[in-house]
Structure 1
């Protein structure tokens, strides 16, 4: 069985805003060794999620982990993405699909946020020692 990972983001009308998900996809591919890592967007940018699933199948996937690159399980994750999976199941009845968990609250995200806070304060020329006391 060939497994694919489909990273799904919200999508933005600003193309450069969508580039981050492609960079994450390259990191995921390098870390997992998974040959099929595709990117799709829920709205406002192509490829859409159905096209992303199609791309996985065309590349030989018999199962797809649909990973929602979202912070929390809101309406897109709880309602829209399962609906997208149901639509794809009609086209590919033999395709196995699972929906991963969004990023949610995780200690590493807290570390990243503090890192970005320190960077922002440093760029502003503010006292880093005081900033580190905050985090």
Structure 2
């Protein structure tokens, strides 16, 4: 049993697909519940303002869809360990 039926990535700026494009696509596939989780380490303006505004805009377009806003990754110790692992991997590789 899968935890989620559809998982999509989107971006706020500088890359595609954008948030509204992905919402339109998944709603077109019949999705009725969307969980938005920022893959960001810090609660800057995107987490505090931009993403909630995007969710509100899309919720007005699709009132039949339930939107949930999950906490961002944050400065979790597990993220720091992944970063340390990647640094060790780089050091143990041959020079470029």
Smaller-chain TM-score bracket: 0.7 to 0.9
Query: What's the offset of the Cα at 1:66?
Result: 0.8
Q: By percentage of residues, which structure has more strand?
A: 1
By how many angstroms is 1:52 displaced?
A: 1.0
Q: Scaled by the length of structure 1, what TM-score is found?
A: 0.63
TM-score (ref. length: structure 2): 0.86
Runs of 4+ in 1 over 4 A off after TM superposition: none
Give the gaps of 5 or more residues in structure 1: 1-31, 126-135
- In the TM superposition, residue 36 of structure 1 has moved relative to its aligned partner by 1.0
Structure index of larger Rg: 1
SS in 2 for 1:68: coil
Identify, as 1 or 2, the structure richer in helix. 1
For the 8 Å contact 1:36–1:59, the answer to whether it is kept is: no
Please list every run of 5 or more consecutive structure 2 residues that lacks an aligned counterpart in the other structure. none
Cα distance in structure 2, aligned partners of 1:121 and 1:44: 31
- Name the Cα RMSD after superposition: 1.6
Aligned length: 94
